[in-house]
A and B are shown apart, each in its own frame.
Chain A
């Protein structure tokens, strides 16, 4: 088992469409996390930024961008990018530095200012870039991939549109309780059914929006936490950043085809399942130990897929778990009590960090109306396109 690191502080800039730059959201989140930790920025030994590809050059060097905005103080810096998994990579970089003894206390920041409408590839003709090709050749937006996964579940497991809508109903009700969420009102199944189809069978309210937002975490060594007077801090016990195994047999964004399994037998279980398995193994726990989970509900149907990939239930049983209320607040294993992406919309480099903020509040028992009673162990799960696993286990 890998050593643990302490979560000394967390902070977020509320999600929304604020029309300002990503640096402002990141710095607001960072200052909030530093205040929560009771740490002066000048005492931070290292800063790790999760990059955004939508902010020009400052976005590619997010660590330095945030360090400059907070005021240069000489800290070690790193900037990482792994699409939706960028936040987990940033957390893992910070953790590795702490466990290696390179830094005692590290600030992790991710923020984004999202464009209107569909995410689109960078400009120019780039026939060697699968992300460019899927748009040029197929017009395959992110929601079309979500539509393919949803239809596949309907065919294999008899999931229904009403089931998908109930995921949105659950998450919207929880998001209404979260002051950091962008959408803070309840949604009915009728409203989901009445929203426009975007990519059959999914409707507008089945698919997460893109948002502005920022999230930050202050991590430290357990020794530093003790010296700092943090009694019983939330600890990060595992960070899974695994890649797929060849042949990867589930069509992943932004690919036009899967690997062929004709010559090599695929590993047991999908890539997504392997992301959680690595986190469980590193943490020395199993799904039965979880108090809550924060998963990447890019669509309602994808949240159901995560139930199975996390081992909360067997293959094809996600809808049963949902209908039983097991994944609602008060259920056996509440999922996305933050309100999830359904209530936040995606702020790519901030989102995996925001998931850890929610785990921290829940494990501290400070999540207010959306508190999971007696929360002791939480997991986040997420997948960044181009083969990036992302899962964090936090305990208290």
Chain B
């Protein structure tokens, strides 16, 4: 039986391959950008409030910092308790034009030893976990090979 591919959160990212993007919203009045997306109200206290329009975020950014998770996180993170725990890497990435830092898991196989602060990374589609019916999709950060 084939699984349905479903984003772990609706509306946070879209696209395939090179066209994959994180999706935020931008205020039409003050141009503030929000990720995770704000759809009801602009959070800039100096803004009278504008229409919030979906906008793709820059796919490339630079590593602000990074770490990993050497122990199994608690629920609602989904893991298979039957399998031994494989640490994964977390990267906080600064997007230059949006001037925002976005956290994400690194692509599988990337460890902290592969990273430095300032290194360029690109957002790529990834899989968070699978259950009987569903492949839950997410975003990953992948180094581009461009150094700090």
Contacts and interface: CB of A to CB of B under 8 A. Distances in A.
Nearest to B33: A260
Contacts of B138: 137
Contacts of A137: 8-9, 128, 138
A261 B100 CA distance: 7
Contacts of A133: 9, 36
B37 to A, nearest CB: 10
B74 A149 contact: no
B77 to A, nearest CB: 4
A18 interface: no
Interface residues of A, number: 47
A246 interface: yes
B15 interface: no
A289 to B, nearest CB: 33
A264 interface: yes
Given A125-B76, A141-B74, A197-B70, 11 more contacts: A118-B71, A118-B73, A133-B36, A144-B90, A148-B65, A151-B66, A202-B67, A247-B99, A262-B32, A262-B33, A263-B27
Contact of A263 (B32, B75, B78, B101): B32
Contact of A256 (B36, B74, B78): B36
B31 A139 contact: no
Contact of A141 (B73, B102, B105): B73
Contacts of A197: 70
A246 B45 CA distance: 7
A117 B74 CA distance: 9
A175 interface: no
B75 A120 contact: yes
A262 B9 contact: no
B49 interface: no
24 contacts: A117-B74, A118-B74, A127-B9, A132-B76, A134-B103, A135-B75, A136-B77, A138-B104, A138-B105, A140-B103, A141-B74, A144-B69, A148-B64, A148-B92, A151-B65, A199-B67, A199-B70, A202-B67, A246-B44, A260-B98, A260-B99, A260-B100, A262-B33, A263-B33
Contact of A138 (B31, B97, B100, B103): B103
B68 A260 contact: no
A251 interface: yes
B73 A262 contact: no
B35 interface: yes
B46 interface: yes
B74 A120 contact: yes
A264 B32 contact: yes
Contact of A198 (B34, B70, B128): B70
A256 B101 CA distance: 8
Contacts of B74: 117-118, 120, 135, 141
Interface residues of B, number: 47
Given A127-B9, A200-B112, A152 B117 contact: yes
Interface string B84-114: 0000101010000111111111000000100
A69 interface: no
Contact of B67 (A118, A125, A151, A155): A151
Interface string B23-48: 00001001111111000000111100
B135 interface: no
A201 B117 CA distance: 13
A102 interface: no
Nearest to A148: B65
A218 to B, nearest CB: 37
A257 B43 contact: no
A147 interface: yes
A263 B65 contact: no
Nearest to B30: A263
A151 B117 contact: yes
A263 B8 contact: no
B101 A147 contact: no
Interface string B105-148: 10000001000111000000000100000000010000000000
A246 B99 CA distance: 13
A136 B43 contact: no
Contacts of B73: 118, 135, 139-141
Nearest to B95: A260
A259 interface: yes
Nearest to A153: B65
Contact of A264 (B35, B46, B71): B46
A256 B102 contact: yes
A258 interface: yes
Contacts of B88: 139
A246 B46 CA distance: 9
A196 interface: yes
B70 to A, nearest CB: 5
B116 to A, nearest CB: 7
A249 to B, nearest CB: 8
A263 B67 contact: no
A117 to B, nearest CB: 7
B32 A256 contact: no
